[in-house]
Amino acid sequence: MIVKEINHHMDGNDISLAVIKRLPRYYRYLEELLDNGVERISSGDLSVRMNVTASQIRQDLNNFGGFGQQGYGYNVAYLHDEIARILGIDHTHSIIIVGAGNLGKAIANYANFEKRGFVVRGMFDSNPSVVGSECRGSKVMPMEMMKDFIRDNGIEILALTIPKTNANEVARIAVEAGIRGIWNFAHMDLTVPDNVVVENVHLSESLMTLSYNISRQK
Amino acid sequence: MIVKEINHHMDGNDISLAVIKRLPRYYRYLEELLDNGVERISSGDLSVRMNVTASQIRQDLNNFGGFGQQGYGYNVAYLHDEIARILGIDHTHSIIIVGAGNLGKAIANYANFEKRGFVVRGMFDSNPSVVGSECRGSKVMPMEMMKDFIRDNGIEILALTIPKTNANEVARIAVEAGIRGIWNFAHMDLTVPDNVVVENVHLSESLMTLSYNISRQK
């Protein structure tokens, strides 16, 4: 996965990319604690659950200041909400999915995304035999409608679940229409302007990493 | 994504984890060059395509020794095959998929994986209404059959495309049956013995990272 190096400024402080990359995992654990009705947790307990040292946790969370108190632990709901705010998931994001194949449908149907404020507003496909079919109660639209749809509905995120052919062309049109971020499952690196964020999920690279690590174990 | 720190020994040399993580991307570009009939490439040309400095490329590939020659460039087929060998994708790997939902189907149908030697040998699901349905010409099997199937067919990799409920239990049974690696899409961290490799694809964490980076751009 390619990570863009961005300068992170947070309330005047710099937060390292390494910390930022760990935040979603903290969020996932805090969400689980909340779901289980846990109100407070010590860095020690969180450390056992997350398999990270307690001092790492204290260091990481100190970046955001004042969430924990000595001998008292962290207020789970407060920490959960603060991290949500930092991650920008304290408000909703509109998504469209381009590519209504199995992967596109898997994403459209994944309820957890919606729970975290990512709302799928439409799906598009270039295949005429797929256009018009239903997915989660709404009809798959033809590609020609994408540009206006992004503009008219203020869509922020494009989930790109098509093969590499046309991926850059679709990205180009979406950028023209004002898209802010692309969640890229296409097996290629996209070329976009600097103000558009790309998050790559290269599944075959992930599978190769797995294969490599298995080979090393032999 | 959690990366296990493993000591990498390669022909007696240590290769850094950072280099290893870049190899699948090199492989992807070399594969593309091969498909386009390109026989040789200079580090300069590769650097433009991959948007990495030429010196980074030379440094990375020097780890494996002797692939390039000054003023001559890299032999694409040779480099491609060497990286395949290092990644352990010069031979086939047997996979089973547990979870025959959209995500499981997307993986089963993804032809590129097979091209790289990852062969899906069977799919399993706990839902009786899904068991027996066809996917890529073979029938989805009930979970009860998984353990013997892994054993009898020497399955190496388990792709886990189920929600977090039961994920650890399925992993435990698969490990007992001799699985070597788990490609984990379940939204949780698995607990497995040290000799079993886990590669996590946490899609919601990836989406949160995208959201974070969009927030920072504002």
The 3 state secondary structure assigned to chain B is CCCCCCCCEECCEECCHHHHHHHHHHHHHHHHHHHCCCCEECHHHHHHHHCCCHHHHHHHHHCCCCCEECCCEEEHHHHHHHHHHHHCCCCCEEEEEECCCHHHHHHHCCHHHHHCCEEEEEEEECCCCCCCCEECCEECEEHHHHHHHHHHHCCCEEEECCCCCCHHHHHHHHHHCCCCEEEECCCCCCCCCCCCEEEECCHHHHHHHHHHHHHHHC
A20: pLDDT strictly greater than 50: yes
Please determine, for residue A151, whether its predicted confidence score (pLDDT) is greater than 70.
Answer: yes
Q: Which pLDDT value is given to residue A59?
A: 86
B185 in contact with chain A, both atoms CB, cutoff 8 A = no
Mean pLDDT lowest among A142-146, B12-16, B168-172 = B12-16
Mutate to test the interface with A, among B103, B212, B217 (most CBs of A within 10 A): B212
Please report the pLDDT score of residue B4 as a whole number.
36
For residue A74, pLDDT beyond 90: no
pLDDT value for B213: 92
Predicted pLDDT at B90: 92
Contact with chain B for residue A119, Cβ under 8 A: no
In chain A, residues 36-75 whose CB comes closer than 8 Å to chain B? 50-51
A39 to chain B, closest Cα gap in Å:
21
Q: Is A210 on the interface with B (CB under 8 A)?
A: yes
Across the range B170-195, mean pLDDT stands at 95
**Is the model's pLDDT at A50 over the cut of 50?**
yes
Please tell me the predicted confidence (pLDDT) of residue B13: 47
pLDDT at A43: 86
Query: Can you read off the two tokens belonging to residue A110?
Result: 């994944």
Position B164 confidence tier, pLDDT thresholds 50, 70, 90: confident
Task: Quickly state the pLDDT bin for A86 (edges 50, 70, 90).
Answer: confident
Distance from CA of B145 to the nearest CA of A (A): 24
What rounded mean pLDDT belongs to chain A?
Answer: 87
Residue A16: band (very low, low, confident or very high) from pLDDT cuts 50, 70, 90: confident
Does residue A4 carry a pLDDT above 80? no
Give the lowest-confidence range in A80-84, A166-170, B65-69.
B65-69
pLDDT at residue number A2: 37
Is 70 exceeded by the pLDDT of residue B1?
no
Res A73 pLDDT > 50:
yes
Task: Inform me whether the pLDDT recorded for B60 exceeds 50.
Answer: yes
